[in-house]
Amino acid sequence: MARILAVDYGKKRTGIAVTDPLQIIAGGLTTVDTPRLLPFIKEYVGREEVQTIVVGLPRTVRGDYSESFRYIAPFVERLRAELPGVEVVYHDERFTTKMAMQSMIEAGATRSQRNNKSGVVDMVSAAIILQSYMDSRKG
């Protein structure tokens, strides 16, 4: 089996998560400066077998696309064009940052570790998006 990669896209920084090859466990991989995101993904896909890339779909509480969607949609189209053999899908990312922060608090992370500038929150958010996507496919 191939891995599933998840992307929590941000204007400056993007969190990346990935499954194991059997697609059982989702885990944070890294955080990448967004201008380097496409080269990073292309290099990763060249090194590891990736079946699907899941991109967090930003929506408001009411379900409308959020403002950041206008940055994400062109990236997804470019990703699809440059990696035609990899399925690229959207998955709802509402509340993932809040969930990531809460998970980090419960895990005992210090305030400095939870500081958004560190990028850890983005990586954990990507893992939450990935786990949610995997859960939605079960059954």
Q: Is 90 exposed, middle or buried (0-12, 13-18, 19+ CB in 10 A)?
A: middle
* Extents of the domains making up the chain: 3-137
Edge-to-edge, what's the strand order for the sheet holding 87-92? 26-33, 13-19, 3-8, 50-57, 87-92
Q: How confident is the model at residue 107 (pLDDT cuts 50, 70, 90)?
A: low
What does the pLDDT look like over 4-60, one tens digit per residue? 999 999 999 999 999 999 999 999 999 999 999 999 999 999 999 999 999 999 876
Count CB neighbours of 112 within 10 A.
Answer: 8
Q: How confident is the model at residue 78 (pLDDT cuts 50, 70, 90)?
A: very high
**Residue of 87 and 64 predicted with greater confidence:** 87
Q: Is 11 exposed, middle or buried (0-12, 13-18, 19+ CB in 10 A)?
A: exposed
**Residue of 102 and 4 predicted with greater confidence:** 4
Q: What percent of the chain has pLDDT over 70?
A: 81
Sequence-separated (6 or more) residues with CB below 8 Å from residue 90: 54, 55, 56, 57, 76
What does the pLDDT look like over 118-136, one tens digit per residue? 578 888 889 999 998 998 8
CATH architecture assignment, domain 3-137: 2-Layer Sandwich (3.30)
What tokens appear for 124 in the block? 């954990």
Count CB neighbours of 28 within 10 A.
Answer: 22
